[in-house]
Chains A and B, each alone.
Chain A
Amino acid sequence: MDVYTSLQEDSSYRTIELNDDLLQIVTTGSSPLFFKAPLKEEDGFAVLCSNDKTFKLKRKNHSNTVLLGYHEFTQDDMMTDNKITEQDVQFKKIVTFSSFNSDFECKLEKGSINTSSLPIYTHESDPLTFQPQSYHLRCSLDELIDDSPISSAEFDKIYYELKGSEVNGFACILSDSMISQCLTRIIMTIQALATTAGKDIDDASNYHNIDPRILCERINDDNYSYSVVKTVVRKFSSQDDEQNFSLDEKKVARWYGIEALKIHAKKLVAPNEFLIKWKTSFPQFYNVPIELRWLQGYYAKPLINRIQYFPKDFLSMDAKKRFQELFEVQGTWELEDIEPFIQELNVKKLKIDKFIIKYARKKTEGKKVVVMAR
């Protein structure tokens, strides 16, 4: 069998290693696949996205030359009852037309959305004329999905969690005060709908099977468009089906708690006093249980029996520095209190105890584990 190589190579071909997930998609067509690549290499990395998974593409170079060719068998050859003989094969040729010195390797990756350049939609913004500033990213929601290294199902899960929405055709982030006010309107509207339907206003089932479209119609306020209402509903809900959601009372309570910390715990405050302030920040007739530990990661205890608003957002991303900053505010931490502050830095997913002893001291006091500086 003679082997030839084309003098003019076709550079439009590339090879990609198919892991089990990708092989299943390619052989069954169970999901569409998309390549997403930044225009400049320094802007990130290329990914391959299915409906619900994101794969990071890595170029794997090799020193050998890999040739891709075709052999000259045709459909007619196959029609002759597969009776291809050695002689048939010997008279056929292999012609290579492309060569490679690298393959694409795919690794399952958690998709991400960069929302740092998106405009912030606040109450001061006019929903009908809302425009991003020149330094903002100006794009629609579809364009943002297109531009993000993430599959559409993952985007759908993460975007609303990040307070993402779309106003006047532009992808944007809702401000915290906007979220709070919209959430309050949503809860009050659900209560009004329940009352109209003759249901008990305290019934927890009122907050199940919520359709954002119905809520939006009932709210009937340009500031709370369907897109804004949907963002808030989805941020605080679990999904029942394609259209309906259930408000998660712990998520709702936690949001009001964090907002209450910002207002009432700027200075030291007694936990019991704060719990009363937290409870009163809920909309009227909205009664759900609260626990201070739900706000771990947002407060510190600089003095015994006193708490203070202390969000992790402004702390260093360097583990050593972050531990220093934490111990400057509070000398001794209970393990469960410090954990939310350091979790994101444990990139190697070590056991939390093992991660902590790299930077701090840990000891057991009765039933509690406490962490302190070395």
Chain B
Amino acid sequence: MPSIEINTQCIEPSQVEGLPPFIRLPEGLVMIELQGTINKPTKVPAHYDEDKEDFIKTKSGHDAVKIGKLRYDFNDPSAKKVELLIGTSQKLIGSIKKLDKPMGILQFPKMDNHSNISDRQYLKTQQVQVVEIIRHKLVFTNRPVPLMDD
């Protein structure tokens, strides 16, 4: 039964007055729950419209594809409703939900081909990191509704 230490020293990002609780500083993580799965391309297509910003490079240098646009009523910080516009024809209506139990985000060490998880000495040099504690998530569990042209 190999064991590995968990480093619990995480910085809990703080909420900002006037902003919804899922936005926290600095660089707080966001949890989004969707019904079903997301079908996404495995790589950036050779030709696409760069002006539409459908594809970007992330901070870590990976490619990312746009899945939608999040809308929230910033005039009412206590509002629970959020919307996720998918493309130009559909939107998901969801809410900001406070989790019954806070969720710890753990990051496990990446094992390379040479590392052996039954090797006690190796595991003693590794740590699982508690990256953050999340207390709210965005939940979209309803079917998408069609978007009417303005």
Contacts and interface: CB of A to CB of B under 8 A. Distances in A.
Given A1-B69, A89-B74, A97-B58, A15 B36 contact: no
Contacts of B16: 82, 84
A308 B120 CA distance: 49
Contacts of B28: 70-71, 73
Nearest to A49: B3
B67 interface: yes
Contacts of B103: 15-18, 103
B33 A64 contact: yes
Interface stretch (A19-27, A222-230, A299-307, A351-359): A19-27
B26 A27 contact: no
B115 interface: no
A2 B38 contact: no
A16 B69 contact: no
Interface in B68-117: 68-72, 74, 84, 101-110, 117
B31 A66 contact: yes
A156 B101 CA distance: 31
A43 B118 CA distance: 14
A5 interface: yes
A13 B59 CA distance: 17
Interface stretch (A140-148, A176-184, A247-255, A290-298): A140-148
Contacts, number: 202
A366 interface: no
B47 interface: no
Contacts of A103: 103
A41 interface: no
B105 A66 contact: no
Interface residues of B, number: 71
B10 A26 contact: yes
A84 B34 contact: no
B9 A29 contact: yes
Most chain A beta carbons < 10 A, residue from B36, B70, B104, B117 = B104
A38 B1 contact: yes
B117 to A, nearest CB: 7
Interface string A159-190: 00000000000000000000000000000000
A23 B103 CA distance: 9
Interface of A: 1-8, 12-19, 22-23, 25-27, 29, 32-39, 43-44, 48-49, 63-75, 77-78, 82, 84, 86, 89, 93-97, 99, 103, 143, 146-149
Given A23-B102, A34-B3, A73-B28, 9 more contacts: A2-B66, A3-B32, A7-B62, A12-B108, A12-B109, A34-B6, A65-B33, A69-B30, A97-B62
Interface of B: 1-6, 8-10, 12, 16-19, 23, 25-38, 40-44, 53, 56, 58-60, 62-72, 74, 84, 101-110, 117-118, 120, 128, 130-131, 133, 137, 141
